[in-house]
Amino acid sequence: MTHILDTERLRLRTLDPDDAAVYLKVVNVPAFIEYIGDRGIRTIDAARKAIAEGPVAMQHALGHSLYLVERKEDGAAIGMCGLIKRESLPDVDIGYAFLPEYGGKGYATEAAAGVLAYAASIGLRRLLAITSPGNDASNAVLKKIGMRFDKMVYLSPDDPGTLLYCCDFTLA
């Protein structure tokens, strides 16, 4: 695992298959399933495979990925936040998901702000974010870190509509 960045209270590092237990918990949080989607990951082995084929492969191929977020004070793994390149979007986007017991403490905003700065530091010119219209917490995080709403997009034929946010680093 590779250290990526620190914020005041958090440490972000690359995911590895040994993080399967927390990954499994995060992707099965009801809000994750509602707003991000059911990944169908129900076992530790499936989580290990998803980490290897997702974040580990993306980090190797692109030099960035989804990262594990740990609290500095106790090393607790509290969620994930990072940079994802999806085929359905023209640019890299920021993604995050946290365990519900760590909600309401500003961790998502703090991690996302750190990843936004990191994205600029590694030379990305533009960063996107997508979220469901009804995901008020996620929409608030994106606005707090300086992302701006761009437009409604439809990422698949059955998508009822997804909010697309962006941040152009070349304009800063």
Task: For residue range 43-93, list pLDDT tens digits in order.
Answer: 999 999 999 999 999 999 999 999 999 999 999 999 999 999 999 899 999
Task: For residue range 9-40, list pLDDT tens digits in order.
Answer: 999 999 999 999 999 999 999 999 999 989 99
Separation CA 61–CA 55 (nearest Å)? 10
Q: What is the pTM of this model?
A: 0.94
CA distances (Å), 71 to each of 1, 17, 27, 132, 147, in order?
A: 16, 19, 19, 27, 24
Q: Decide: 77 and 13 in contact? Cβ < 8 Å.
A: no
Q: Domain spans of the chain?
A: 3-171
> What Rg value do the Cα atoms of the chain yield, rounded?
15
Separation CA 131–CA 129 (nearest Å)? 7
CATH of domain 3-171: 3.40.630.30
